[in-house]
Amino acid sequence: MIDPRLLDLERRDPPPGLNPPMQALWWLKKGGLKMGAEWNEAHRLLQLEEGMHDYDWVHALAHWIEADFGNSDYWYRRCGERRATASVSAEWEHMAEALTAKL
């Protein structure tokens, strides 16, 4: 199950109580899983704690969205994960479920 706050995209800013990796997931979803201002905000958040698993894992997704596959692969390797799905949207859901389960 995905934390419903991640799907509350009518807001201007992420709902309260989300940690930075989940905020980044929210920004990526709000931006339609495409490049743009929301992607930039997600990327900024992910750069705050490079080397931390959840930050690096979502960072991998951000670079997949960017179509920078080499950089995406680098972040997946860095956090010890692999792409679990065949599409960006399915990967977003996979990450959202996994990070929700950690709460």
pLDDT tens for 17-57 read 999 999 999 999 999 999 999 999 999 999 999 999 999 99
- Please, where are the H alpha helices in 1-101? 20-30, 37-46, 53-65, 69-79, 88-101
In the chain, % of residues over pLDDT 70: 100
pLDDT band with cut points at 50, 70 and 90 for residue 66: very high
> Would you state the pLDDT for residue 53?
97
Res. 103: pLDDT tops 90 = no
Q: What is the pTM of this model?
A: 0.96
Res. 100: pLDDT tops 90 = yes
Instruction: Give the residue numbers spanning the domain of 68.
Output: 4-101
CA distance 7 to 63: 21
Domain count, the chain: 1
Residue 27: half-sphere exposure toward Cβ, Cα within 13 Å:
25
